[in-house]
Amino acid sequence: MSELINPTIVKTAKSLKSPPGYELSTDTSSTKKNSTITATKKDPLQIAELKVKKAWEVALGPAKSIPMNLIMSYMTGNSLQIIPIMMTFMLLLNPLKAIFSETNSSFRNLTTPENGTDILLAKIVFVICQLGCAGVGVWKLNSMGLIPNNRSDWLAWEDAVNVKEWSSIF
């Protein structure tokens, strides 16, 4: 094995300088004895602050999906077919499930006695963002004509409104 290693290569490798940021310790016995890793304790205020930041990230998460849901709802059209109807009901059901089941469980690990009011505000924003997602579903149901919003939808003796002419402003 020693025959394969060229002694001149070993000599030049030892004479090279270490790269920046890398220090080779020459005393190996002291590093082996004192190689315990010590973790520094973080300040409880810093931990509470980080938990509040994470709570706001969780709270604003549903708001990030609203533009995507709007575009998907617009692209599926207003026809009464199985795919647009299923997607619309999922737009309504998923936010309601999240409001009733995930609100407390999402924020449970982030709540401390010091940041209770901040977490409560984040929960309220989470519920508002989920209601915004559900609002996209209600808008889609209205554009499909599935929400009764005329007198003729409720009363049998009323005639449906017939639009004779459409005018566009633009």
pLDDT score for 70: 92
Residue 15 forms part of a structural domain: no
Q: Answer whether residue 88 is part of any domain.
A: yes
pLDDT given at position 3: 62
Q: Which amino acid is at 88?
A: T
- Residue 59 to residues 5, 56, 95, 138: CA-CA distances in angstroms? 62, 5, 13, 22
What pLDDT is stored for residue 130 in this prediction? 95
* Tens-place pLDDT, residues 110-156: 887 778 788 899 999 999 999 999 999 999 998 888 888 888 777 88
Whether 114 is in a domain gets the answer yes
In a domain, 37, yes or no: no
DSSP secondary structure string for all residues of the chain: -TTTS-HHHHHHHHHSPPPTT----S-HHHHHHT----PPPPPHHHHHHHHHHHHHHHHHTGGGGHHHHHHHHHHH-S---HHHHHHHHHHHHHHHHIIIIIHHHHHGGG--STTHHHHHHHHHHHHHHHHHHHHHHHHHHHHHT-S--SHHHH-TTSPPP---------
- Please indicate, yes or no, if residue 152 is contained in any of the structural domains: no
Task: Specify if 158 maps to a domain.
Answer: no
pLDDT at 98: 92
- State the pLDDT at residue 56: 92
Confidence of residue 47 (pLDDT cuts 50, 70, 90): confident
Q: Residue 25 is encoded by which pair of tokens?
A: 């310790």
pLDDT of residue 93: 93
Q: What are phi and psi of 61, to 5 degrees?
A: -60, -45
Instruction: Provide the domain limits for residue 84.
Output: 44-146
Report the pLDDT value the prediction gives residue 170, as an integer from 0 to 100: 52
pLDDT at 68 over 90: yes
- Within a domain: residue 72? yes
pLDDT digits (tens, 9 = 90+) for 4-40: 667 666 666 677 777 787 776 655 554 554 445 445 5
Q: How many domains does the chain have?
A: 1
pLDDT value of residue 167: 64
More confident residue, 52 or 32: 52
Quick: pLDDT tens for 82-105. 888 888 999 999 999 999 988 888
Give the predicted TM-score (pTM) of the model: 0.65
